[in-house]
Structure 1
Amino acid sequence: MAHLLEGIEQDGYDRRYRDRELARRIAPYFRNRGGTVAFVALAVVVAAAAGSAVPLLLARTVDSALSDDGDGRVAWLVTAVLAAGTIAWLFTYLQERMAGTLVSDVVLSLRRRVFEAAMRQDMTFHDTYATGVVVSRVTNDTQAFATLISLVLSLLGQVLMIVVLLTALFLINVPLALVTALVAAVVVGVSLAFRRAARSASLRQQEALAEVNGYVQETLRGIAVTRNHSHQQSAQAGLDEVNHRWFRASVRLNRMFSGIFPLLISLTGLGTVAVVLLGGHGVDSGSVTAGQWVLFLEALVLFWSPLTSIASFWSQLQQGLAAGERVFALVDREPAVRQRDSLPVPRLRGEITLRDIRFGYDARHPVLKGVNLTVPAGRTVALVGHTGAGKSSLVRLITRAYEFQEGSIEVDGQDVRTLDLDQYRRCLGVVTQTPFLFSGTVADNIARGRPGATRDDVEAAARAVADGDWLAQLPQGLDTPTDEGGRNLSTGQRQIVALARVFLQDAPVLILDEATASIDPLTEAQVQEGLDALARERTTIVVAHRLPTVRKADTIVVVDDGRIAEEGDHTALLARGGAYHRLYDRYFRHQGLDEDPADDPRLLSAVERKA
């Protein structure tokens, strides 16, 4: 059946865990819940003891009823049977109720832990693995693993009942007990032998389900593109492909369990036949009383039930263990961005120095090839260059979104890898080309710039961008609702909200990654006004494609094929007639038609030399 799993691949960070290791990893989540755990354990023991007492008391009741002097004991024994059954029911109910609360509490903590693990991963991780696949681990797999706990608690009570009953059976009749124990051992052995294959099949099914989740999420997020290009049929075909992989994995898992369950039922049936025949012969010969035979028959029902339950629960059990592997694989995955220390970060002056930085998103394709750059504190540096030259990669390294392979980055003379990462990132105000807004309101999204900000703080930040004129364009001002991603706002409005968020953050270092590349000229003027106000007395690094932004920079850095080709101001670089001049001719000249080289002798001489 290996062909059924074709196309399903494990994520690169997945690993295998032994059952004992998974138990060790989940144990800490119960330490602060000792009272509940103790009560559940007590309830399991009491329910198992009371449940075991029922067939023993029934056997005594039968023998007493058949004896000449047992009439007086029958009523008491019947009462005892009812009492034992009631106690077993009551404590089973309490066990299930408290265990349900306990498991939900564990799911809450475990899901929080897995979400934190996903949040701390570097951007390489999020670039590599689909969001829906990661979401599946945070939601589906944590629930499946926690469900395993409920199954274990349920089976634990039944196993305790087996132990008590088996002990009583050996005390009553050794041959019959040996037959029962032998069949039980065979059933357990078959189940254990089946475990490894079942775990593997369950893991593949969950990986296939994660693929489906990832594909559906990605397709729905890009629904506009799909419709605009009439790719609905292609999208459906893609879903059919991943869905059929899940189907094949589910079929394989179903075939395995559909084979093991009848086998276990057959084994327990043979054991029952053997006990009935031997017990009936014993009653006929007088070596076994009628009550003892009833005890064995009644015990068989209770005895085989947990063993066959292992088969019926085995699918969920193995899915839970496989889910545990996926959960802890994410928790244990070490981010590529690693800090050597976590020194506190004071208010930064903002001097940034890159020394011989070498970086590639993978080892075979270097992006930055020995970059040396110094950004003075409080100055504005514009990074320009062709698409793919390495501009955005530079700023992503400064924000510690990715880990560079060689070289060093220093901030105010301190190696960035020695700083507390969270504190350092709070010192960076980042505005990207396509800012993301969360569900809520415009005010909520601005407030994310500084936890604990008041409404007055939010309003002040909003009015700091273009004097707040943009707020009049929103139906409800700051209380205007925002959909996921801010889809109900224009690109320019989302960009202005992102700017206001950074204003509120009041970070000493500002990083603008093509912040005005996708907006109209009128909105760009508003955004640029906000940027000018925001950049005052701050270190600002701009990845720029617009001439007005480039010309305002104190220093322009030309990035070409992963290296620094030129540095200088707009006038000097044009006069030099090098890489920046070529970029200007190709990309910028049409944005500044009012600029005449004859107005500057240096530019005129450069043009004459080119001619």
Structure 2
Amino acid sequence: MGFIMDGLDAEAYDRTYKDSQLIARIIGYFRPKLLLMLAVTALVVFSSLLDAIYPILISNTIDTLVLSKVWQTALLLVGFVLIAAVLSWTCNMFRQWFAARAVGDVVLQLRKDAFSSVMDRDMSFFDEFISGKIVSRVTSDTESFATVVTLSLNLLSQVLLFLIIATVLFFRSWHLALLTFSILPLIIVVALIFRAVARRATQRSQRSLARVNANVQEVVSGITVAKNFRQEQSMYNDFSGVNKQWYKVNVLSGSLYNGIFPVLVAIANIGTTIVIYFGGSNVLSHTISAGDWFLFVQSIGLLWSPLTGIASFWSQFQLGLSASERVFALLDAEPRVHQIDQQPVKQLRGEIEFKDVYFSYDDRQTVLPSFNLKIKAGETVAFVGHTGAGKSSLGKLVARFYEFQGGKILVDGLDIRTFDLAAFHRQLGIVPQVPFLFSGSVADNIRYARPEAAYKDVMAVAQRIGGGDWLEALPEGLDTQVGEEGKALSMGQRQLVALARVLLQDPSIIIMDEATASVDPLTEAQIQESLDLILEQRTAIVIAHRLSTIRHADRIIVLNKGLVVEEGNHEHLMQQAGHYAELYNTYFRHQSPDYRPGEGFVPVAQQLKDEGVA
């Protein structure tokens, strides 16, 4: 049992809602469709009245035949039954049509809200939670949400039918009606017991499906790595495990749901037996007519169908409520990045200042204990340091991808938390180490930051990147399709497209996780030339991986455990023979033109001599 439930715990942002809260929010989504839903409700009522006519007309027909044997009356009643059947079919058709339109529109809006909520989440949300499970909430759960409404409309029709038939039965024979309803408390008790376990079962089913979706997405995203290390079988085994878990969870749920229906049918059959026995006795004693007795027998199915339906289809109802609960939890997830104001952002000069900034990702390990630094407008600052020193975190904080817990970050003297984020991000260019391209053409990806940009502007920017020589290698120039995630292009070409995209954006501040790794020397030269172009007269925070970038920086900031331990240019820091010199030997020495393979650690004095610094 433990294996079956492994990994099916709620996410940290999940919350529990009462059924009344869920239903109230669902009704809120249907409020704009009020007129359409009123029409559906009216058709449900009319359809229920027509369905209730069947047993009543047949009952009257039996009494008419028994009493007077007037065949003309019987034929007339048969005609009424046929007319009622046609009207009932017509009502149901329009009811289904209107309901499908209303439910479809609501699911469309809910999916838009869920997707918008995902777009509004900060980067820490995506770092913490698996993307495949988030996708499942936006797609599968919003679809399941429609089940609640569809089932509710069907049950509403049956409940109305129940009330109409019950009223008629009490009017015809109240004592036989009381006998008929004697099993009602037993059905209600069974339904409530089933209800208590149905929600947990459906939640586990949804979570297991989310695990399957997450696994498939991870496999597809990492298929290159898997094939490189020949791990296809291992990935298949992982998928087989989560898929088997989904199977077992749904078998348990199915057994639970299917087990309740025979119990309810057995209880309903007891009620039918009571009606047949006592009703037949009353007919023989002439207490009730044969037509009334038939009415009771014929109506027994109509009476128990809504009650057994509520219980036997409770799985679907709970599935819809569980799905809506997961979607609403996504909508209600608290953002971690909080803006204290939404001030418009004018053209930025790009001056950045960190004042006693404290930052931790998980409240357990401090990344920046008390960080202080001022970056002048137009200055290029390269951050270097061992892994975990806090280099990338600084760029993420400036971009407002994460919330810092203490201190201030000022841009042009203003608290970054007071900016309108959309306006601020328009003046912020980000160059990741591994560029991501969307499906479409090269031109589409370059104009991603400025969709309104004309083709000639895109071409002008592309020709400025690397002198435009890289365009000649593209089969169709700017119209070349990049494929999924840009896989139709080489890594170097993808990086050049990403740089052109930033250049077209024309931001005031650049945050760059240096993009010159894993490319050939010619492409690296083109990228470096493009970087020089992009960084010109812009403030730049560079997470440096290449010696060439460090040498071009106005200032090098050496970090250790979230603190500035050294700063200056390359020559100055090398003369200090401190932490930077150690990093140079570890990470950058092999990139020097005079590097001799196998020479190992070179004393700082020798490095300075080789480079003509001392």
Q: Secondary structure at the match of 1:408?
A: strand
Q: Is the 8 A contact 1:576 1:606 kept in 2?
A: no
Letter in 1 for 2:488: N
The 5-angstrom pairing of residues 189-588 of structure 1 reads 189-588=189-588
Alpha-carbon deviations, 1:438-481, whole Å to 9, x = none? Answer: 11111111121113222223222222212322111111111111
Letter in 2 for 1:333: A
- d(CA) in 2 for partners of 1:23, 1:463: 57
Measured after TM superposition, the shift of residue 583 of structure 1 is 2.0
Q: Secondary structure at the match of 2:512?
A: strand
Measured after TM superposition, the shift of residue 326 of structure 1 is 0.8
- d(CA) in 1 for partners of 2:344, 2:181: 64
Letter in 1 for 2:14: D
Give 2:598's aligned residue.
none
- d(CA) in 1 for partners of 2:613, 2:52: 104
- d(CA) in 2 for partners of 1:414, 1:109: 37
Alpha-carbon deviations, 1:339-386, whole Å to 9, x = none? Answer: 111111111111111111221221111122211111111111111112
Q: Is the 8 A contact 1:428 1:511 kept in 2?
A: yes
Change (3 A) 1:580 1:3: closer
With 379-388 and 26-35 compared, the bigger mean Cα shift is at 26-35
With 392-401 and 121-130 compared, the bigger mean Cα shift is at 121-130
Letter in 1 for 2:511: I
- d(CA) in 2 for partners of 1:381, 1:2: 52
Letter in 1 for 2:220: L
Give 1:156's aligned residue.
156
Letter in 2 for 1:446: I
With 417-426 and 242-251 compared, the bigger mean Cα shift is at 242-251
Measured after TM superposition, the shift of residue 4 of structure 1 is 4.1
- d(CA) in 2 for partners of 1:78, 1:219: 63
Mapped pair 1:83 → 2:83: yes
- d(CA) in 2 for partners of 1:5, 1:388: 35
Alpha-carbon deviations, 1:58-112, whole Å to 9, x = none? Answer: 2112212222174443333222222222211111111112111211111111111
Q: Is the 8 A contact 2:279 2:293 kept in 1?
A: yes
Change (3 A) 1:601 1:590: closer
- d(CA) in 1 for partners of 2:100, 2:5: 34
- d(CA) in 2 for partners of 1:602, 1:327: 59
- d(CA) in 1 for partners of 2:488, 2:578: 44
Letter in 1 for 2:254: N
Q: Is the 8 A contact 1:5 1:248 kept in 2?
A: no
Give 1:144's aligned residue.
144
- d(CA) in 2 for partners of 1:388, 1:63: 90
- d(CA) in 1 for partners of 2:451, 2:166: 62
Change (3 A) 1:211 1:605: closer
The 5-angstrom pairing of residues 9-48 of structure 1 reads 9-48=9-48
Letter in 2 for 1:231: Q
- d(CA) in 1 for partners of 2:282, 2:2: 51
With 346-355 and 574-583 compared, the bigger mean Cα shift is at 574-583
- d(CA) in 2 for partners of 1:366, 1:3: 35
With 457-466 and 330-339 compared, the bigger mean Cα shift is at 457-466
Unpaired runs of at least 5, structure 1: none
Q: Is the 8 A contact 1:376 1:539 kept in 2?
A: yes
Q: Secondary structure at the match of 1:464?
A: helix
With 73-82 and 119-128 compared, the bigger mean Cα shift is at 73-82
Letter in 2 for 1:120: D
Q: Secondary structure at the match of 1:440?
A: coil
Measured after TM superposition, the shift of residue 607 of structure 1 is 10
Measured after TM superposition, the shift of residue 217 of structure 1 is 1.1
Q: Is the 8 A contact 1:574 1:606 kept in 2?
A: no
Q: Is the 8 A contact 2:195 2:311 kept in 1?
A: no
Unpaired runs of at least 5, structure 2: 596-601
- d(CA) in 1 for partners of 2:3, 2:174: 49
Q: Is the 8 A contact 1:556 1:568 kept in 2?
A: yes
Measured after TM superposition, the shift of residue 578 of structure 1 is 2.0
- d(CA) in 2 for partners of 1:122, 1:580: 33
Letter in 2 for 1:395: G
- d(CA) in 1 for partners of 2:373, 2:151: 59
Give 2:101's aligned residue.
101
Q: Is the 8 A contact 1:555 1:568 kept in 2?
A: yes
Q: Secondary structure at the match of 1:368?
A: strand
Measured after TM superposition, the shift of residue 591 of structure 1 is 2.2
With 187-196 and 494-503 compared, the bigger mean Cα shift is at 187-196
Q: Secondary structure at the match of 2:313?
A: helix
Give 2:121's aligned residue.
121
- d(CA) in 1 for partners of 2:481, 2:242: 35
How many pairs align? 606
Q: Is the 8 A contact 1:433 1:518 kept in 2?
A: no
After TM superposition, the score normalised by the length of structure 1 is 0.95
Measured after TM superposition, the shift of residue 261 of structure 1 is 1.1
Alpha-carbon deviations, 1:90-137, whole Å to 9, x = none? Answer: 111111121112111111111111111112112221112111111111
Measured after TM superposition, the shift of residue 156 of structure 1 is 0.8
Q: Is the 8 A contact 2:571 2:613 kept in 1?
A: no
- d(CA) in 2 for partners of 1:17, 1:277: 46
